A and B are shown apart, each in its own frame.
Chain A
Amino acid sequence: MMEYDSLIARAAAEMRPSGIRKFFDIAAEMKDCISLGVGEPDFKTPWTIREAGIDSLQKGHTWYTSNAGLAELRKEICTYLKRRFDMDYEPAETLVTVGGSEAIDMCIRALVNPGDEVLIPEPCFVCYNPITTLTGGVAVPIPLKAENGFKLTADELRRAITPKTKLLVFPFPCNPTGAVMRREDMEPLAEVLRETNVMVLSDEIYAELTYGHERHVSISTLPGMRERTIVVNGFSKAHAMTGWRLGYACGPQPVIKVMTKIHQSAIMCAPTTSQYAAVTALRSCDSDIESMRDEYDMRRRYLVQALNGMGLTCFEPQGAFYVFPCIKKSGLSSDDFCKKLLYSKKVAVIPGPAFGECGEGFVRISYSYSIKHLTEAMRRIRQFLDEECGV
Chain B
Amino acid sequence: MEKLLKLLESDARLSVEELAVMTGKTPEEVAQRMDDYKASHIINGYRAIVDWERAEVARVQAIIELRVSPRRDCGFDEIAQSLAELEEVDSVMLMSGGYDLALVVTGKSFQDIALFVARRLAPIDGVLSTATHFVLRTYKRDGVRFGGDPHDERECVL
Q: What is the interface of chain A, defined by CB distance below 8 A to chain B?
A: 18, 20, 24, 27-28, 35, 37-40, 42, 125-126, 175-176, 294, 298-299, 301-302, 305-306, 348, 350, 354-355, 370-372, 375
Pairs of residues from A and B, 4 with the lowest C-beta to C-beta distance, nearest first: A37-B156, A24-B156, A305-B21, A38-B154
Tell me, yes or no, whether B55 is within 8 Å of chain A by CB.
no
- Contact check, A375 vs B14: say whether CB atoms are below 8 A apart: yes
One of B3-11, B31-39, B89-97, B120-128 contacting the partner? B3-11
- Contact check, B156 vs A35: say whether CB atoms are below 8 A apart: yes
- Contact check, B156 vs A371: say whether CB atoms are below 8 A apart: no
Secondary structure type dominating chain B contacts:
loop
- Contact check, A27 vs B156: say whether CB atoms are below 8 A apart: yes
Q: A42-B152, A371-B14 are in contact. List 11 more A-B contacts (CB 8 A).
A: A27-B156, A35-B152, A38-B154, A38-B156, A40-B154, A175-B158, A298-B23, A301-B21, A371-B7, A372-B10, A375-B11
**Which residues of B have CB within 8 Å of A42?**
152, 154
In the complex, the chain B residue whose C-beta lies closest to that of A126 is B158
- Contact check, B11 vs A371: say whether CB atoms are below 8 A apart: yes
**Which residues of B have CB within 8 Å of A20?**
156, 158
- Name the distance in Å between A140's Cβ and chain B's nearest Cβ: 20
- Contact check, B24 vs A18: say whether CB atoms are below 8 A apart: no
Tell me, yes or no, whether B87 is within 8 Å of chain A by CB.
no
- Name the distance in Å between B26's Cβ and chain A's nearest Cβ: 13
**Which residues of A have CB within 8 Å of B11?**
371-372, 375
- Name the distance in Å between B43's Cβ and chain A's nearest Cβ: 18
In the complex, the chain B residue whose C-beta lies closest to that of A37 is B156
- Contact check, A38 vs B22: say whether CB atoms are below 8 A apart: no
**Which residues of A have CB within 8 Å of B154?**
38, 40, 42
Tell me, yes or no, whether B85 is within 8 Å of chain A by CB.
no
- Contact check, B158 vs A39: say whether CB atoms are below 8 A apart: yes
Q: Which of B18, B23, B155, B156 has the most CB of A within 10 A?
A: B156
In the complex, the chain B residue whose C-beta lies closest to that of A364 is B158
Tell me, yes or no, whether B157 is within 8 Å of chain A by CB.
yes
- Name the distance in Å between B127's Cβ and chain A's nearest Cβ: 41
**Which residues of A have CB within 8 Å of B10?**
371-372
In angstroms, Cα B28 to Cα A297, docked, is 21
In angstroms, Cα B22 to Cα A175, docked, is 22
Interface size band for B: 10 to 19
- Contact check, A348 vs B24: say whether CB atoms are below 8 A apart: no
- Contact check, B18 vs A302: say whether CB atoms are below 8 A apart: yes
- Contact check, A39 vs B22: say whether CB atoms are below 8 A apart: no
- Contact check, A355 vs B158: say whether CB atoms are below 8 A apart: yes
- Name the distance in Å between B73's Cβ and chain A's nearest Cβ: 43
In angstroms, Cα B22 to Cα A375, docked, is 12
**Which residues of A have CB within 8 Å of B157?**
38-40
Q: Assuming A371-B14, A375-B14, is B22 touching A301 (CB within 8 A)?
A: yes
Q: Assuming A371-B10, A371-B11, is B156 touching A302 (CB within 8 A)?
A: no
In angstroms, Cα B2 to Cα A199, docked, is 46
- Name the distance in Å between A176's Cβ and chain B's nearest Cβ: 8
- Contact check, B21 vs A18: say whether CB atoms are below 8 A apart: no
- Contact check, B22 vs A298: say whether CB atoms are below 8 A apart: yes
Q: Which of B3, B11, B155, B158 has the most CB of A within 10 A?
A: B158
- Contact check, B158 vs A371: say whether CB atoms are below 8 A apart: no
Q: Return 22 A-B CB contacts under 8 Å, by A number.
A: A20-B158, A35-B152, A38-B154, A38-B157, A39-B156, A39-B157, A39-B158, A40-B154, A42-B152, A125-B158, A175-B158, A294-B3, A298-B7, A298-B23, A306-B18, A350-B158, A354-B158, A371-B10, A371-B22, A372-B10, A375-B14, A375-B18
**Which residues of B have CB within 8 Å of A372?**
10-11
**Which residues of A have CB within 8 Å of B158?**
18, 20, 39, 125-126, 175-176, 350, 354-355
In angstroms, Cα B152 to Cα A362, docked, is 25
In angstroms, Cα B152 to Cα A310, docked, is 28
In the complex, the chain B residue whose C-beta lies closest to that of A301 is B21
**Which residues of A have CB within 8 Å of B149?**
370
In angstroms, Cα B24 to Cα A27, docked, is 33
